[in-house]
Structure 1
Amino acid sequence: MLSLVASAAACALVLSACQAGTDSGSSSKDGGKYDIALSLSYTGNDWQDNATNLVKAAAKTAPYDKKVNLRVDIAGSEVGKQIQTLNNEISAGVDAIIVYPISPTALNATIKKACDAGIIVYAYDSLVTEPCAYNVHIDQYEWGVVNATWLAEELGGKGDIAVIDGVPGTTVALDRQKGLDDVLKKYPDMKVAGKAPGAWAQAQGKTAFTSIEAANPNLDGIFAQAGCYAITKYLNDGDKKVLPCAGEYSNGHHVQMLSPEVCKEVDIDPKECLHLPSISSGSPAYSGELAFINTVRLLDGEKVGRNTILPLPSFTTDDLDALGAKGVGDDPAKGALVFTPSKASPGMFGSFWSPLVEQGLLANLKGVSDKISDAKPCAEVEGCKTTDKLTFDDNHSGGN
């Protein structure tokens, strides 16, 4: 599994419904700068906060600070409001829109309208199927298969599991669920005791789990699109049995995966380190930053593949055991997978850097410029690939 370790470390070691406004400068032409809108759907969880911070930080970093006016618009989780926000951005005459879409198809007509007006549209993490748009993402079906396979093997192919969903309707949530479903077909003695939405947030993930646990007190494991940290803390604080958790890439979860012995070496309270049997696979928070970098490349006249598939960051407790204290630090470009709690919140997503991008820990947390590397093109980064268009099959709700 170490070959699947977050691409970042692997390379190093081997706003209300229309909170429109300008993040820097104005939305009108200013000294020849490009006007770029970061167009969000829902917000309110750590992943979205980290991804947004990375885009803001990139826009404040040379050479982009002299080339880009960035505005950040928040539409919320309703399709109609996101369409309205996109239309507002089109009317404002922006040069490009970087979008986290709430649906793979519902925005297509509006995206086509933007393209016809000469506006670049770049979706990140969750996909859109309009052919004129650009997409950057991991294979979310692979995320589901990898995590579900680990959990099935950890449980010996049998047991009752709680499933914590993401944001319903997004390609991310749908494809991860399809991966889980396909794996469970191979393990008839594994049962889904209950499923509830967690919105990719720690607090909501814990609430979803407790609702399942109330009706199913003898659970054996957890498949969580996010929430492993908060769920495990709830179980441990309540003197309940902690459960193997296949989940998303939060730092608190990673600290729980460490052994007390390693934590003593790196000045982390050993009580926080449970040696939790787990796998952590991430949807890179840096995908928004990469969409920003590629958008500027396109505006500068460079060629960029229309569809970028990122390598899946993933590691297990066994992988952390093998790394020991070397896996803990503050610079992912130097191999850090786990960040000390004094520097990073438990909910922070650790998948914020790869050789494809530039920004470091402070950018992820605070949205300030924190350049730690030069961005490499996809062709120079192991596991990254580009295609001319999305491909469609039964495993991917919005293509891949």
Structure 2
Amino acid sequence: MKQSLILVGAILVSTSLTGVAYAETSGMRIALSNNYAGNSWRQAMLESWEKVTSQAVADGIVAAVDTFTTADQEVPTQAAQVQNLILQGYDAIVINAASPDALNGAVKAACDAGIVVVSFDGVVSEPCAWRVAVDYRQLGQQQLDYLAGRLPDGGNLLEIRGLAGTSIDNLIHEGIADGVKTHPNFTIVGEATGDWDQATAQRAVSTVLPSLPEVDAIVTQGGDGYGAAQAFRAAGRDVPIIIMGNRQDELAWWQEQRDANGYETWSGTIAPGVSTLAFWVAQQILDGKEIPKDVIVPYLTVTQETLDEAVANTPVGGVANKEYSQEEAIQAIEDNL
């Protein structure tokens, strides 16, 4: 039996590597359903999506790729959007979801209509859909592991939450809670909601800061580190260790502070170009390939040693990024088999 399983796995990998097509995708249409575009990460995500998918259309790999972003962040709006995409007859829907569970009815309706659904970043729990994401819980835990190395005696933490109700916010928060259990000499002394946006984070931190004791470090979700630093500076308080989320303004500020006073921290988040991996996963499923329901990819990190390279390669107003070619996507899929 073991030899048979090994043989089946080898056949699957061999088929993927040879690029043999089981179904023709050149006449197929793929839609992106996106629930939010209000920060630099989402803008970079959409830019990567447009760059890679427009080339795929030009190359004749698929017939069309269309992008739909909701006017608000509400689940009913995105559910209605998905229902509309079903009526329009798309072959696949790639979705960055407003909720892990509340969209399951619309997702199931799409699956029942024969539409391939691939969720990414904000994934869905409906079993018929595929999921492309990083281990967000581990990302939260990693922040505490890093801080434990920097602050062996522990300290007070401010936690900045992301977009309320999303799977991403919940999982990173849970990972941070796991990290505090692992390193109990750290204490969460305050919480602010930053919506993954620097301006929002700055306002939220400024609001809670007067009531907080000394803060030794800030744990974050991305898109909030620079805003938090500005809030502390405006309040005349020493800036603690702030975990960053790969945004260009965060990285540039970190580099500036490192050069001025030796400031050290760590940065990590999912690359915006994960949208392009989700696109290729959808295309490969339409092409008849066997794809695991969960495709987990590493999150993108920046360290003190790689900071200069990251700043040099990240456009102003952007996010450190990685986009996927079809070949890289196939390899990522095989890594999850």
Amino acid at match of 1:69: A
Aligned to 2:292: 305
In 2, are the aligned partners of 1:162 and 1:212 still within 8 Å (CA)?
A: no
Distance 1:198 1:122 in 2: 27
Secondary structure at 1:61 match in 2? helix
Distance in 2 between the 1:163 and 1:198 partners?
Answer: 10
- Contact 1:258/1:274, CA 8 A, preserved across alignment: no
List, as ranges, runs of 4+ consecutive aligned residues in structure 1 with deviation greater than 6 Å.
none
Deviation at 1:65, TM superposition (A): 5.3
Distance 1:115 1:202, change over 3 A: same
Q: Taking structure 1 as the reference length, what is the TM-score of the superposition?
A: 0.71
Alpha-carbon distance in 1 for matches of 2:77, 2:328: 35
Match status 1:345 vs 2:316: yes
Q: Distance in 1 between matches of 2:59 and 2:189?
A: 50
- In structure 2, list runs of 5 or more residues that go unmatched: 1-24
For the residues of structure 1 that align with 2:38 and 2:277, how far apart are their CA atoms? Answer: 21
C-alpha distance 84-63 of structure 1, shift in aligned 2 (>3 A): closer
Structure 1 residues without counterparts, runs of 5 or longer: 1-30, 262-269, 321-326, 329-335, 359-373, 388-400
Matches within 5 A, 1:13-162: 33-62=27-56, 64=58, 66=60, 67-75=62-70, 76-162=72-158
- SS of 1:281's partner is strand
Distance change in 2, residues 1:252/1:275 (3 Å): farther
Tell me which amino acid in the other structure corresponds to 2:316. Answer: S
Contact preservation (8 Å) 2:134, 2:270? yes
Report the Cα offset of residue 380 of structure 1: 6.2
Are 1:285 and 2:235 matched, yes or no?
A: no
SS in 2 for 1:289: helix
Distance 1:257 1:174, change over 3 A: same
| TM-score, normalised with respect to structure 2 | 0.83
Counterpart amino acid of residue 71 in structure 1? D
Q: Which amino acid aligns with 1:313?
A: L
Q: Which amino acid letter does the alignment assign opposite residue 251 of structure 1?
A: Q
**CA distance in 2 between partners of 1:41 and 1:279 (Å):** 28
Counterpart mapping for 1:161-180 below 5 A: 161-180=157-176
Structure with the bigger percentage of helix:
2
Cα-to-partner distance string for 1:226-276 (whole Å, 9 max, x where unaligned)? 211222244457664221012312122222333678xxxxxxxx6xx6643
Q: Relative to 1, partners in 2 of residues 1:150 and 1:241: Cα closer, same or farther, differing over 3 Å?
A: same
Distance in 2 (alpha carbons) for counterparts of 1:65 and 1:183: 46
SS in structure 1 of the partner of residue 149 of structure 2: helix
In 2, Cα distance between the equivalents of 1:256 and 1:71?
A: 36
Q: CA deviation at 1:379?
A: 3.6
The superposition leaves residues 305-335 of structure 1 with CA deviations (integer Å, 9 ceiling, x where unpaired) of 3210001222332x33xxxxxx64xxxxxxx
> CA 1:197/1:65 → structure 2, altered by over 3 Å: closer, same or farther?
farther
C-alpha separation in 2, matches of 1:41 and 1:150:
32
Aligned-residue CA RMSD in angstroms?
2.6
Aligned length: 310
Taking the TM superposition and a 5 Å limit, the aligned residue runs for 1:167-246 are 167-216=163-212, 218-226=214-222, 227-236=224-233, 240-246=237-243
Determine the C-alpha separation between the residues in 2 that align with 1:380 and 1:51: 18
Q: Which has the higher contact order (CA 8 A, sep 6+)?
A: 1
For 1:62 and 1:283, how far apart are their aligned partners in 2? 23
Equivalent residues of 2:110, 2:116 under 8 A apart: yes
The superposition leaves residues 77-109 of structure 1 with CA deviations (integer Å, 9 ceiling, x where unpaired) of: 211111111101101111111101111111112
The question of whether the paired residues in 2 share the 8 Å contact of 1:184 and 1:190 is answered with yes
Q: 2:33–2:96: 8 Å Cα contact kept in structure 1?
A: yes
**Offset of residue 339 of structure 1:** 2.8
Structure 1 position 74, deviation (Å): 2.0
Q: CA deviation at 1:353?
A: 0.8
| Secondary structure in 2 matching 1:337 | helix
Distance in 1 separating the partners of 2:122 and 2:141: 18
Q: Which residue of 1 aligns with 2:13?
A: none
| Partner SS, residue 288 of structure 1 | helix
Name the counterpart of 1:19. Answer: none
For 2:177 and 2:66, the matched residues in 1 are separated by 39
TM-superposed CA distance for 1:112, in Å, is: 1.3
**Counterpart-to-counterpart distance in 1, 2:54 and 2:177:** 43
1:248 alignment partner in structure 2: 245
8 Å contact 2:192–2:205 — kept in the other structure?
A: yes
